[in-house]
Structure 1
Amino acid sequence: MERRRLLNTGAGFTLAAVAGQTITPSAAHAATTPKAATAPADDRSTAGHRCSGAPVSTYGVASLTAAIVGTTVLGNHAYLVARGQNPTLVGEIDLTTRKLTRTFRLDRGDGGWAATVSGGQVYIGTYPFPDIHRIDPGTGTVTRIGTIGPAGGFVWCLTTAPDGTVYAGTSPRGEVWEYKPQTGTLRNLGAAMAGEQYVRAIAADDQYVYAGTLPRGYIVAYDRTTGVRRSITPEPYGGASALIARGGRVLGSFGRSIVDLAPDGSDAHVIPIPAPERIADAMTVTADGTLYCVGRPSGTVYRREGDTLVKVAAPATGDEHRALVPLPDGKMLGAVGSGRLWWLNLRTGTSELVELIDVGLSGPDPVQSIAYESGGSVHVGGHYSLTTHQPAHGTSKRIRIPGEPKQLRAIGGKVYAAMYPSTEFLEIDPRRGRVRSMGFIENDQQRPTDMAYVPEQDLVLVASAPPAGGLKGALTLVERSRGRLTVHKDVITDQSVMSVALDDRPGHRIAYLAGDTWGGGSVTPTRPDATVVAYDLRRRTVLWEATPVEGNASIQHIEVHKGVLYGVYKRRSGSWFAMDIETRTILKTGKLPSYGEISVHFGQVYASVFGGSVYRLGPIEPGSGEAELVLGGLGDGWYNPPQLAWERATWYAWGVATRALARLRLDPLCPSGTPSQLTAQYEAVLKGLLAN
């Protein structure tokens, strides 16, 4: 599920997509590296000296992306919706010259997963405002037709019926909408299926519009005239990802199966996808009626032969696909989520590939994760990339990786990344540009949420959440030297594992895990309150479980300092607490404007939260007051809850200011800035996050 961020476009620089290429940040963003601060002192008489200089220094775009979501083709042009650009950016690519010919800006939004063509017009469905926009390629005009759901919602899919009527599927209300270009009217056909929050795939024929739902995976047929709907699914097949109505049949990708059935649900054929794949994320049918699909995570194109899928080629390995489109010359066009287009000769199996970042459809990426390495390297995770910055030298290097690195850690000259949605655990050598897979978490997990390193055991701990429709998260133990992953599922009963923190007291081999009763979303929680468990790393068992503060369903992040566990909630957003580990009593509670991640540095406890602010929470002492603002006004360039990557011996941490890599002075004696004001865009982002 997309984690949508408040985005602010800024001056960028062209960044080559190939691993190992060196680039230089724009002079507009580059700054001289500040001199390292001396070891922190507690004497307030030194504050004037400590507080000299700018509290924020920026070093160019943190991560550049050409990632795309919605894709459609009109004539000899492909229309690609960029991911994470605000307001939403659409690129027009000439399929003959393979060049970017035009770009269009919609009036708001972060992107759009849905795209279709009707009557020579291009239609785009967006998020976090669930709008439908129309682009007229002839005049270059862009029109917002209407909004078809609450702020924070998504238009996930669009299709065009034979008569030109456009249909849309949405979340979080799981509705189908109809737009008639001839009359300009919008009609809500209602929710597809009780309990299904997503209409994730959609198709239409002369009589019906078909909705594919998620998480369970039903096909619901709506009569296009009366609006009457009924499920035609013999049984739920797993979450929908693609749907086609063609030749009197309905074909869909659901879970690990391709489903082929009649419009009334009869004569169902269920074709399993090949074992390496988790889903088929794009499908098409050629003029001769042959079904093609592409599998994730391999990126392999398959052709249906009878009730089996036969491998054709793999033009873009290890990537997500947004669309497959048969072209008039007999070739197949593929649109790749990381920002690539390929052309496949179906007869010979040969292919050609174009990087969109090289043709100019790129922009600053909302940041996924960040890590600082002794020696001055700063590693930034973006969509399908790791960018290693050397701020002192003014250079950066971009490495392609398969997916979204939700968490990064720099250990022993290597960078370790926990990936979404594949759950792959990667070891990256940034100096050589090498990427090695250490395996997959799997076990019905999808979203890595936190990571911790136990040096004395050379052990990496990874917290994770299930996909939509699941409640049971996991703790994965990665033995770094042996390359072995051990997964402990449902370690917090019926909760995602959102965060993992290590006991900082000598001799304590305990990890603390924080839960989320919502799991992967789209399912009713079985527990009333989020809990924390103590996990014995020697015995690998749970020692105890506690509810820090009742009435809170989701803990976002925790950290431990001197026997006190600090936590911040996602639901209720921004509530925080400090709990004595031995007695499990609450020492203090408070409220932040939003939620994010907690870190400890030089005995101080910090919370970096959405909205671009960093607060000091502790240490908790007699008479300590509310959370104190240390630095504000950073904007919001984060895709995930904001993180801090601390320098070991200074009051500085690395983070993001809007979308620029930034060195942040976080000396508690030198507060700076004011809390960020929430815009309508940002409020929509947070609503979308809290709906899932």
Structure 2
Amino acid sequence: MERRRLLHAGAGLVVASVAGPMVAPSVAHAGTADTTGAPVVPDTASRPGTAGTTGHCSGPAVSTYGIATFTAAIVGMTVLGDHAYVVARGQNPPLLGEIDLASKKLTRTVRLPRGEGGWAATVSGGQVYVGTYPTPDIYRFDPATGSVTLIGTVGPAGGFVWCLTTAPDGTVYAGTYPRGEVWEYSPATGVLRNLGVARPGEQYVRAIAADDHFVYAGTLPLGHIVAYDRATGAKQSITPEPYGGAACLLARGGRVIGGFGRSVIDLAPDGSDARVIPIPATERLVDAITTTADGTVYCIGRPTGTVYRRDGDALVPVAAPTPADEHRGLFPLPDGTLLGGAGSGRLWWLDLGGGGSDIVELIDTAMSGPDPVQSMTYGMRGTVHVGGHFSITTHRPEDGSSRRIQVAGEPKQLRMAGNKVYAALYPSTEVVELDPDRGRVRSLGFVDNDQQRPTDMVYSRLTDQLLLATAPPAGRLKGALTLVDRSRKRLTVYQDVIADQSVMSLALDDRPGRRIAYLAGDTWGGGSVTPARPSATIVAFDLWRRKVLWEFAPIEGYASLQHIEVHDGVLYGLYKRLAGTWFAMDLDSLTVLRSGKLPSYGELSVHRGEVYASVFGGLVYRIGPDLAEPEQVLTGLGDGWYNPPQLAWERASWHAWAVSGRELARLRLDPDCPPPATNRAAVSPPDEAVLESLLAN
């Protein structure tokens, strides 16, 4: 399964800017579509604010309102001569962009044949090589002719080419996930060959470098450096000890230098003479590293976005051209400037002498396109807030306007509390508050505590707190529950509250007098690690006493719960492993009342006494409270979600907001309305390996 690129009526609209709160053009009136995507006559009864009108079951079940969120976020980056090349993420198929370094203008874009993006890029012999996902292809782009050639596919569906490098003789090397392999391609002979797994148990070759004799693979999650003899293929770890997950690597001047965990590592090609340079306390890792012609090492830290110069065994801050941004590449240019590429879609030129910098926003260019949606929430006065890559877009469907606000990461979760929008960001774990009327963003703090991925967030009116669930990075098991005091800007973190599991979902007991939150676990933790528990469990957490009351596994042997909700003393759950298995459990007796299977997994929601499941594959079901079998409500919504699909309900109607393809959509989900006839066809489940890889990206 691959996401299908959808370019409907709003697809050609480009947001004006991301430098601050800007008004983005949108579709002034709703378009409508049946579930096949074909245009139909607009139905005024399905417009916002008209719930309860006569004939509420007539007309289309889906109304669309233009592209939900735009992106120019990038992953791969390289430089060839007087041009930089960047690869977009989230656009299907991926977009390769060419930027003239002198004029700082986008001069050309080229579509690759398939995929969602390309983390890896390098150059050899005047050609640009790109490695993609979720099918791990290696492509060659010829700038002279504009042609794109598939070199080969280096792994199964759901895989990544995470990194590419070029040896001095022009040989290209690739590192992959999930098999943790190194591949070699010789442009001279056209031969592509597998050099094998770098390190058993390490799923990622996350960074790669090569010199005349060896190719070096940096692994993740532990962080070994494995040297392959380019002539014989023999390999050995040259790591005295694992340094923490690899992020970047280079081989220069007879040394191997890279970012591993919270250190910059500098060692000889045989692993001797290792020097470990701690990164500043404000940073979590080094995103990119390079050397200038005189051998000076520069690197850039995350989350601050600060450029550092190595001075002996210290890192000295130079500048932060794009603060609080991730970075995809760092390149010295012949004129003495540094070129950097930020993940949000910004390119910058830093004058190392004077410290000044220039910035180009790719969102203002033809690199901009429809983004798969990260998260969504329904707000005040009919607003809909949508999380995208490094942005939150506030839509006002009544008048067709929208505003895109840049944030420093992916808003994995969005929730309303009062008149503010709260976002939990990946990978920083920062919680931010957005005033949508003024476009102002303020930070409430970071979860930290070895956490990385926000997985769920709920608002407790009883305590006026946000409850946030998180998962750790790859290679770790212990998730956390965080209580966010929004008025005091205070975060209280309870790590490992479900022992040796991520906290994947949260639900509040809706019965009077109950002060209990229920937490759902995932034994896989952050992935790339052997589970320590046989079954995913649910715990009851007392919000006043701050303690676990009980723990229970609804279905033994099932490893990962994706989402839970509570209604009238019954807890509903949906598993990720085994994907699509759902259950209803009585909270007093801890007895599973009903269970069944949906085609895939996603999120649950309770609205006006009914329980719904929105799952991958463009499907919505009703599963409770009194149904023996799930009832299909909608299909054909496409694959516009980056994270598990959600429903953002209007409070006083049977309408919810979601996406149809990559367009913002208003869905009629009234249980009294029969599902459209076109929704009754059989549904093929999505490729779970592809979903797994995209969610791990």
TM-score by length of 2: 0.95
**Alpha-carbon separation, structure 1, partners of 2:422 and 2:680:** 33
Using the TM superposition, give the Cα deviation of residue 23 of structure 1 relative to its aligned residue in structure 2, in angstroms.
2.5
1:605 equivalenced with 2:611 (yes/no) = yes
Q: Per-residue deviation at 1:351? A: 0.4
- 2:23 is matched with which residue? 22
Call closer, same or farther: CA 1:295–1:537 in 2, change over 3 Å: same
Measure how far apart 1:292 and its partner are. Answer: 0.2
1:242 maps to 2:264: no
Q: Alpha carbons of 1:260 and 1:140: their partners in 2 closer, same or farther (altered >3 Å)?
A: same
Q: Residue 652 and residue 111 in structure 1: after superposition, are their counterparts in 2 closer, same or farther (change >3 A)? A: same
1:184-223 aligned at under 5 Å gives the runs: 184-223=190-229
Superposed CA offset, 1:259-300 (max 9, x none):
000000000000011110000101101110000000101000
* Partners of 1:612 and 1:675 within 8 A in 2: no
- The residue that corresponds to 1:9 in the other structure is 6
Q: Counterparts of 2:83 and 2:51 in 1: how far apart (Å)?
A: 58
Measured after TM superposition, the shift of residue 7 of structure 1 is 4.3
Establish whether residue 268 from structure 1 lines up as the match of residue 274 from structure 2.
yes
Cα distance, 1:641 vs structure 2: 0.3
Quote the Cα distance in structure 2 between the aligned partners of 1:140 and 1:7. 24
Matched, 1:517 2:523: yes
**Partner SS state of residue 674, structure 1:** helix
User: CA 1:133–1:439 in 2, change beyond 3 Å: closer, same or farther?
Assistant: same
1:677 & 1:418 partners in 2: Cα distance?
Answer: 36
8 Å CA contact retained: 2:124, 2:170 = yes
- Per mean C-alpha deviation after superposition, the further-off stretch among 286-295 and 666-675 is 666-675
Question: CA offsets per residue over residues 543-562 of structure 1, 9 Å max, x none?
Answer: 00001011210000000000
Q: Secondary structure at the residue paired with 1:226?
A: coil
1:417 to 405, 416, 423: 423
Kindly indicate whether the alpha-carbon contact (under 8 Å) linking 2:569 and 2:588 is maintained by their aligned counterparts in 1.
Answer: yes
Q: Which amino acid aligns with 1:637?
A: G
Q: Does 1:172 align with 2:178?
A: yes
Q: Which residue pairs with 2:36 in the alignment?
A: none
Does 2:663 align with 1:657?
Answer: no
Label 1:206 to 1:659 Cα distance change in 2 as closer, same or farther (>3 A).
same
Matches within 5 A, 1:120-519: 120-519=126-525
Percent identity, aligned pairs only, is 70
User: C-alpha separation between the residues in 1 aligned to 2:695 and 2:405?
Assistant: 32
Q: Secondary structure at the match of 2:462?
A: helix
Aligned CA RMSD, in angstroms, stands at 1.8
SS of 1:288 mapped into structure 2:
coil
Rate the CA distance shift 1:691–1:661 in 2: closer, same or farther, 3 A: closer
- The alpha-carbon deviation at position 525 of structure 1 amounts to 0.2
Distance across 1 between alignment mates of 2:686 and 2:553: 33
- Give TM-score scaled by structure 1 length: 0.96
- Please say if residues 642 and 694 of structure 2, whose CA atoms lie closer than 8 Å, have aligned partners that are also in contact: no
Shift of 1:613: 0.7
| CA distance, structure 2, for counterparts of residue 527 and residue 690 of structure 1 | 22
Match of 1:561 among 552, 557, 567: 567
**How much does 1:674 deviate?**
2.4
CA–CA separation in structure 1 for the residues paired with 2:682 and 2:470: 31
Partner of 1:686: 691
Once residues 685 and 173 of structure 2 are traced to their aligned partners in structure 1, the CA distance between those partners, rounded to angstroms, is 27
Closer/same/farther in 2, CA of residues 109 and 590 from structure 1, 3 Å limit: same
* 3-state DSSP of counterpart to 1:357: helix
Residues in 2 aligned to 1:29 and 1:95: alpha-carbon distance in whole angstroms? 41
CA contact (8 A) 1:5 1:84 kept: no
Distance 2:448 2:376 in 1: 24
1:12 Cα deviation after fit: 3.2
Change (3 A) 1:677 1:14: farther
The answer as to 2:671 corresponding to 1:668 is yes
State the one-letter code of the partner of 1:268.
A
Structure 1: which amino acid aligns with 2:22? Answer: Q
Q: How far apart are residue 680 of structure 1 and its match?
A: 11
Q: Is 1:627 matched with 2:633?
A: no
Runs of 4+ in 1 over 6 A off after TM superposition: 37-40, 675-681
Shift of 1:111: 0.4
Partner SS state of residue 525, structure 1: coil
Distance 1:691 1:323 in 2: 21
Shift in CA distance, 12/411, structure 1 to aligned 2, threshold 3 Å: farther
User: In structure 2, what is the Cα distance between the partners aligned to 1:562 and 1:609?
Assistant: 23
| Cα separation, 2, equivalents of 1:88 and 1:677 | 30
CA contact (8 A) 1:12 1:26 kept: no
**Structure 1 residue 689: Cα displacement:** 5.3
Q: Deviations over 1:656-677 (max 9, x none)?
A: 1110011111112222342788
Q: Distance in 2 between matches of 1:647 and 1:676?
A: 28
Deviations 1:295-336 (A, max 9, x none): 101000000000000011110000000000000111110001
Aligned 8 A contact 1:76 1:96 in 2:
yes
Distance in 2, matches of 1:639 and 1:436, equals 25
Instruction: Identify the residue that residue 35 of structure 2 maps to in structure 1.
Output: none
- Residue 122 of structure 1 aligns to a residue in which SS? strand
Assess, with a 3 A threshold, how the Cα gap between structure 1 residues 675 and 210 changes in structure 2: closer, same or farther: farther
Q: CA deviation at 1:360?
A: 2.1
Q: Give the secondary structure class of the aligned counterpart of 2:442.
A: strand
C-alpha separation in 2, matches of 1:524 and 1:604: 37
Structure 2, unpaired ranges of 5+: 33-41
Pair 211,236 (structure 1): closer, same or farther in 2 beyond 3 Å: same
Sort the Cα spacing of 1:181 and 1:627 in 2 relative to 1 into closer, same or farther, 3 A: same
The structure-2 alpha-carbon separation of the partners of 1:273 and 1:662, relative to structure 1 and needing over 3 Å to count, comes to same
Q: Equivalent residue of 1:375, what SS?
A: helix
> In the TM superposition, what is the alpha-carbon distance from 1:171 to its structure 2 partner?
0.4
Task: Write the deviation string for residues 108-167 of structure 1: whole angstroms up to 9, x where unpaired.
Answer: 100000000000000000000001000011111001110000100000000000000000
1:532 deviation in Å? Answer: 0.5
CA distance in 2, matches of 1:401, 1:305: 32
For the residues of structure 2 that align with 1:487 and 1:232, how far apart are their CA atoms? 37
Whether the aligned pair in 1 keeps the contact of 2:30 and 2:47 (CA below 8 Å) is no
Distance (whole Å) between structure 2 residues aligned to residue 562 and residue 570 of structure 1: 24
With 26-35 and 306-315 compared, the bigger mean Cα shift is at 26-35
Aligned mates of 2:328, 2:29 — CA distance in 1: 34
- CA-CA distance at 1:382 after TM superposition: 0.4
- The DSSP-based 3-state class of the residue aligned with 2:358 is strand
Measure how far apart 1:49 and its partner are.
2.5
Deviation at 1:98, TM superposition (A): 1.4
Q: 1:166 to 1:140 in 2, by over 3 A?
A: same
Distance 1:677 1:107 in 2: 29
